[in-house]
Chains A and B, each alone.
Chain A
Amino acid sequence: MEPIVSVRKLRKVYVLGKSDERVALEDVSFDVHKGDFVCVVGPSGAGKTTLLRCISGLMPPTSGDAYFEGQELTSVPDRIGVVFQDYSQSLYPWLSISRNIALPLKVRGVDKATRQARIEEVLHSVGLPDVGKRYPWQLSGGMQQRVAIARALAYQPDLLLLDEPFASVDAPTRFGLEDLILRVRTEFDVTVVLVTHDIDEAVYLADRVVVLSGSPSVVREIVDVPLPQPRSQATTRSDERFVQLRQSLLGLVTVQ
């Protein structure tokens, strides 16, 4: 069964050929299989966001390959959903929440009745059943990110990419969002790749954690997370294995 995402010797250089050229990613290779929940961690500046952009098709690599469902990426495939860190710009402020979610559906030719049903369904899934008529900026940060997740799920993608999605919200909200993402992953049967700087979050959420070194980044290690599902904020985090995994990841991330 071929992996849903495949990255081979990916290299990304910014400002190639000039004096301030910067190698963000040196040599990154790994696979993501259908149904996985993979977290990518690394020290700051490690090019985690760059990696995500390459996987999504938003940015072409300098060399190496990135494949999605067996095809080489030339543009953003339409079976991918992305949740950006900056929800204030990603959720279009001039559209109501319903209209925001309807947008990708309209593009894909979904008819009005189905659109309506889908919008209600995803909003319900993220725990915001009544906000359709409001504008994104009328909600709190955590809720806006829920809406962003809802929008990404609305057109039923095979792969969901998230770029430090919970970095801009406070801790209690973050826990709620983490559980949300685990829930929708099961509910919508979607593969997830989530970039984060928060190691606890990575261990809590992931089946596997890809650890990047500092830039120019390579894959330092890929760590399996054999903690039982379903995860729970209360019990999983105090599990001994959680603590051990956390310790070792911390070691991997901070050592240069």
Chain B
Amino acid sequence: MTDVRADDLRYEIDGERILDGVSLDVGSGETMAIVGPSGAGKSSLLRLLNRLDEPTGGTVHLDGTDYRTIDPQELRKRVGLVPQDPALRSGTVRENVTIGPRLRGETVSEERLANLLDAVGLAGYADRTTSDLSGGEAQRVAIARTVINDPEVILLDEPTASLDSAAEVEVERLLADLLASGERTAVLVTHDERQAERLADRVARLDDGRIVDVGRPKEVIA
């Protein structure tokens, strides 16, 4: 169980301010949703939490440890990111779901893979090629690809934004199962405030690179 604390995070690209001093506490096992208009810096914040980009200022603490002192590869295993676009590689579902461990030189047992695919609703999909998947299925593969690392913290970037409404309901149900156990700390970026209300313990509203409101879903979302 891990808590995440963003500490005065700042991020600029070419002098343009993307995040302007974001401080945020996400308790162990808690699901925090980040809502706000597009361009507010929601995805940039997730990328910083995974350290895919380097903060211009401030840092992130993981259980009180400055994340810059943790090996980036180790950090990313512990704090997994599910990107908005699944960006799967051509090949099979098996190859994509196991790509993390495989490229780190680890092996994944068939049993573990089968259990995981079952958990994300893709039982029997291991040998399907990714080009044959629907948007919702591809998103599930992307979720499984991150969950296979058994991360302590999971970062979800607009997991249902590109899906049709039927697929959205299904993926959201999967996320609800994944997050409800309270075993993982989660940060969910979404433009859908209703989704934030349904899935999150707390909601933070980001606007123009700043947190303008944090609280229980009912307090933040009108």
Whether both chains belong to one complex is answered with no
B interface residue numbers (CB < 8 A to A)? none
A interface residue numbers (CB < 8 A to B)? none
